[in-house]
Structure formats: structure tokens, C-alpha cells
A and B are shown apart, each in its own frame.
Chain A
Amino acid sequence: MANAPVASPPRRRRRDDRRLALIFLLPATIGLVVFYFWPLVRGIALSFTSWDILTPAQFIGLDNYTRMVSDPVFWNAVRVTLLYVVINIGVQTVVALLIAVLMQRLSQSTLLRSLVLTPYLVSNVVAALVFLWILDFQLGIGNQVLAWLGLDRVGFFTSEAWVIPTIALVNVWRHMGYTALLIFAGLQTIPHSVYEAAKVDGASEVRTFFSITVPLLRPILGLVLIISVIGSFQVFDTVAVTTNGGPVDASRVLQLYIYNNAFGQFDFGYASALSVALLVVLVLVTFVQYRITRAGQTDLN
């Protein structure tokens, strides 16, 4: 068959485009190697050194890692980061799921979906500044509302107990619309017939939601969760702009601690070791989540 003298077009198509492919891939490959893979190797290598940029790096073996294990600020950063991730992801997933279901049931209008997405268009810095103002202890309208309701004012960014939940919720505000649209897209893939069958069987809305929507949404939900968890572990902007880690270390998340070590102490070796720790955590979390949610599989078919 391959030797059949059909005509020139198929033979021409079969020609190997290797040379051209090489040229077309060149820029992307430069980007991949120089700015993804090389940093990965270099970051891991740096984590075994002591280096302040000015004098040559010195190999110190696992010293950075042993230091990390006995560093209370590091463990506090881990705790604070985990707390942030749990609140951020927990609230965001529930709210986004609610928005997605409401949008699907009430109105498919693009306007509504666009409005919900607007916070996603502003930078973390903008989001941080607006809420710094809205939640200001004395003058913020948020605290005014609490006062009108007869409640005590809350130092959202100044109290150790409130600062992480507050920052987590600011980021929920920015991301909930985006996450909702992802879930909404997942909802669209569930065939209408499944719902109609449930309706015929007399299933209630609530029951339909928990025994049809959620299980069929699981693969998408799993993917969305993995994306948002990876994203939220890397929280930095909001903290840097609002509290810079304070009060005391109550909001010093891992990412900020890495930044402090690198650019505050010029301790690039230790900062790299901290990044490796964060990378390991991310890989583990992704792996576990992938297994638990079986994100790759679907129940449809």
C-alpha cells in the first residue's frame, strides 16, 4: 500500500518535516530549557550551598535542610500556609460550586457570567488594597456595618486570629468567579437526560445535586481543586501588600519567608532549600489529590 504509485500529494505529506519543526520549536525550547528546566536544576543545587550572591557559593551539604527542620519560623510558615490553603480552598470551592449551580439553573446569560468574573481581572495588589480599606479598623465600611449590627469591630488585618482567614477570603473574592466558570463548564458536560430521568423518578433538587451532579462532576472538580491548591500554596502578593507577614509572624506564609530570606537576608541557599520544601509539598499534595479525586476518570459513559 505504501508503495502504491497513487500520486504525489500523499507522498509529499508523508515527508518528514524535521528540519522545519526544529526551527519552529527553537524559541519555545529556549524558553523551556533556560527558564523552566535550568532553574529547576539550579534551585536544587543552590539548596545545598551557602550563598549571599556577593561571595562564591559554598557547598554545605544538608546544612540548610537540618537548619530548616529546627527553624520555628519555618514551621510556623508551614502552619500558616496550610491554614490559608484550607480556608481559601474550602470556602472557594463551596461558593464557586454554589455560583456555578445557580448560574446553570437560573440563567445562562453571558452578562451574568461576565459580572461574576470581574474580580479575576484585577491584580492581587488591587484586591489587597481595596480590602485593606474596606476592612480598616476605624474607617472601613466593613467594620461600620459590624458596628451598625451591634457587633464588635474586628481588626481584620491586625489581629493574629483574623489575619489569615481575612487574606484567604480576599483571595476567595478574586478567584471564586473564575473557579465557578470552570465548574460551570463541567456542569454543561452532564447530559440533560440524566437530570430528566431523576425528575421522572421524583428526586428532589437537593437529592439530585448530591447523587447526580456532584458524583458526575468529580473529575472536573478534582482538576479544579488541584489547580487551585497549587495556586493557593503560592500566595504572596496579598500578604506582601497588606500585612507583610505581621502581626508578629501570624501571616508569614512560606512564599513570603522565602522572599525574606533571599532579598532581606541575602541567604539564597536557605531560600532555595525552602523552595525545594515547598516544591516537595506541592508534588505530594497533587499526587494525593489526584489519587483521591481520581481526577483523570469520569463516571459518564
Chain B
Amino acid sequence: MAHHTAPAPTAAQASRLQAPRNRPPRPRPTLGRILAWTAMVIILIVTLFPFYWILRTALSSNGALYANSQSLLPTEFSWGGFERVFGLQTTEEAIAQGGSGASIDFWRYLLNSIAVATGITACQVFFSAMAAYAFSRLRWAGRNHVFSVFLLSLMVPQIFTLLPNFLLIREMGLIDTLLGIMLPSLFMTPFAIFFLRQFFMNVAVEVEEAALIDGASKVRVFFVLIIPLSVGPIATISILTYITAWNDYFWPLMVSYTDESRVLTVALGNFNEQSPQTGPDWAGLMAATLVAALPMLVLFLAFAKRIVNSIGFSGIK
């Protein structure tokens, strides 16, 4: 690779002389660059192929998958998988096509997931913002010490809090309720506080002082000044929180026992277990997988740029 890239400085300088525009010149396609792009394309294929395979399988009919597993296109196009997921098939139809025939209430799980993720995100971000405000813009003795205590809790691994938290939720009589799933992450995460504090600290003092001189209270400053000025960071942390809450599996698995509080991830795990062991309902499973993953993919599509650009910042996570 060395001898291909060595002459690059002179080539780049030469073409920069010819191109008066500010844009960097297009690099020459050296062997190194070709290899690098090849590697990148392979990585992208590995990254994206499973998504295509979900779609291809979900749109196939289950029986045909067994007969023709090598086809790269859907085999015997069918909506059957989705129909089983949404409970649109009769038990006989479902079993005939490889489903378990067990009743599945997918809309219920979807609603539960939405409720849990929305509840967690709204409360957690709001409460964390309040704490971040106290840590960044209010003056009080011991502020930094208390903040260190909050930061310290970043070190507590999730596994350790799960069992005692389960016992607590149980003692509160909240097992198998949506509130029970939400409660532990409802009040804050150290990371959200840390993330928002960082931005609140950057709001100019002058703006705040002007408002205070005009007679605004600090509470008012929080609501009409700090929050509106930090819409961007608040949106970012909200989306990240939503995705995390939506994808959580272990905690909801511990807390929920019935359809009452079952969220999509847990339902998906169950759906897999109910699928016949001898000939799993792959079309149905992949349709369910797609339904569970799609909302987050769409959310990402809408906010990709914001999320991607904020990840460097969250490196301190």
C-alpha cells in the first residue's frame, strides 16, 4: 500500500492548483482507494443484508421456504406471515401455514410498547432536564458534590439493580403492569442529566440575566428560555431514550407475565418459543420481527442526521 500512496501529496497539490474552487479535489482512484472502497462495500453488505433477508422471508409463504431456501427473492409471495402476526388468520389457517395457532394480540403489544417507551421518554427527559437545570444554572452550596454522586451511579451496572428492583416493584404490587415496567427508568438516567447539563451550561448568561431583570423567576427561565433554546439536544436525548426503552427486553421480561403488560420485544421472544420446534414458522417470525423493528427504523429515518451527529458527543456515556 505504501508505494501507491507515497506520491499522493504532489498529485494533490498539482490538482489543487488547477481547481480554484474551495472543494477538495477528487482523489485519484489509487489501488489503495479501490481496496478501501471494496472493504466498505463488503461492510455495508454485511450490515444491511439481514434487513433484506427479514423482508424477503416475511413476504414468502412458509411452506415454500422449506422447499426453496436458496432463492434470493421471496418464494411464493404471500402476506400470510403478516396475517398471522396481526391475528388475521383463523387458527386452522395459521397451523396449516406453520404458525402455532396460539392467539396473539399484536396490536396490544404494539400499544404497550408505545405506552412504555413514550411514558419513559417523556418523564425521564423532563425530570433529567430539571435536574440538569439545577446542576447547571442554579446556585447552591454543594452543587458539585451532589453532581459527582449522580455521576457515580453511571458505574452501577444494570444487572445489579435488576433483581432488587424486581423485588421492589413486586412489593409495590406493580408486577405485570405498564407502570411497573416504566417506574425504574421514569425519574432519570445519570447519562441524560449529564448530557443535558452540558448544553444548559452553554446558554449565554446575558440572555438569562435579561429575563431575570425583567422580573422573570428562575422557574420561568427554565420553561420559557432554557428548554426552548435546547430543543435540539432535548430531541436527541429523547430519541435515544425512546429507542432504548423500545428495545429493552430483560427488564420487561422479568416484570410482565400476561398480555396485560407484554411489550413487543417480549412478545417476539414468546412468538419464537411458540413457533413449532420441528418446522419453525420463519415467515411469521420474520414478519413479526419486521413489525417490531420498523417503528424505530422509521424514527431513525426522520432523525438520522441528528442522531448520527450526536453520537460522538455521547462517547462519554
Contacts and interface: CB of A to CB of B under 8 A. Distances in A.
B139 A199 contact: no
Contacts of A204: 1-2, 5-6
A274 to B, nearest CB: 9
Interface string A108-126: 0010111111110111111
A121 B139 contact: no
Interface stretch (B14-22, B29-37, B77-85): B29-37
A122 B212 contact: no
Given A173-B47, A268-B167, A118 B300 contact: yes
A275 to B, nearest CB: 5
Contacts of B155: 283, 286
A63 to B, nearest CB: 18
A16 interface: yes
B36 A106 contact: yes
Contact of A9 (B159, B168, B213): B213
Interface stretch (B94-102, B104-112, B291-299): B291-299
Contact of A31 (B6, B149, B187): B187
A279 B157 contact: yes
A127 B218 CA distance: 46
A152 interface: no
A169 B143 CA distance: 44
Contacts of B269: 125, 240-241
Given A223-B315, A224-B315, A98 B39 contact: yes
B187 A30 contact: yes
Interface stretch (A64-72, A83-91, A138-146, A154-162): A138-146
Nearest to A220: B315
B307 interface: yes
A126 B290 CA distance: 8
Contacts of A283: 155
Interface residues of A, number: 107
Contact of A206 (B2, B70, B250, B308): B2
Nearest to A35: B184
Of listed A13, A123, A127, residue having the most chain B CB within 10 A: A123
Contacts of A35: 161, 165, 168, 183-185, 187
A94 interface: no
Contact of B43 (A43, A99, A259, A272): A99
B304 to A, nearest CB: 4
B186 A17 contact: no
B261 interface: no
B260 to A, nearest CB: 18
A184 to B, nearest CB: 7
B53 A122 contact: no
A216 interface: no
Interface residues of B, number: 104
Contact of B188 (A27, A39, A202, A279): A27
A123 B265 contact: yes
A24 interface: yes
Contact of A278 (B43, B157, B168, B170): B157
Contacts of B163: 39, 43, 46, 258, 262, 268, 271-272, 275
A129 B188 contact: no
Contact of A17 (B128, B139, B193, B307): B139
A222 to B, nearest CB: 11
B50 interface: yes
A287 B210 CA distance: 46
Nearest to A181: B311
Contacts of B37: 106
Given A25-B130, A255-B159, A18 B312 contact: no
Given A21-B140, A39-B160, A173 B131 contact: no
A151 interface: no
A9 B235 CA distance: 33
Given A205-B1, A206-B2, 17 more contacts: A13-B209, A27-B127, A28-B130, A36-B156, A39-B164, A110-B305, A116-B44, A124-B249, A126-B289, A127-B50, A141-B53, A181-B308, A185-B315, A223-B316, A272-B164, A278-B157, A279-B160
12 contacts: A20-B134, A28-B188, A40-B161, A106-B40, A117-B304, A123-B268, A126-B292, A127-B50, A181-B312, A182-B311, A204-B6, A206-B1
Interface of B: 1-2, 5-6, 8-9, 32-33, 36-37, 39-40, 43-44, 46-48, 50-51, 53-54, 57, 65-66, 69-70, 123, 127-128, 130-131, 133-134, 138-141, 143, 146, 149-150, 153, 155-168, 170, 183-188, 190, 193, 209, 212-213, 218-219, 222, 243, 246-250, 253-254, 265, 268-269, 272, 282, 285-286, 289, 292-293, 296-297, 300, 304-305, 307-309, 311-317
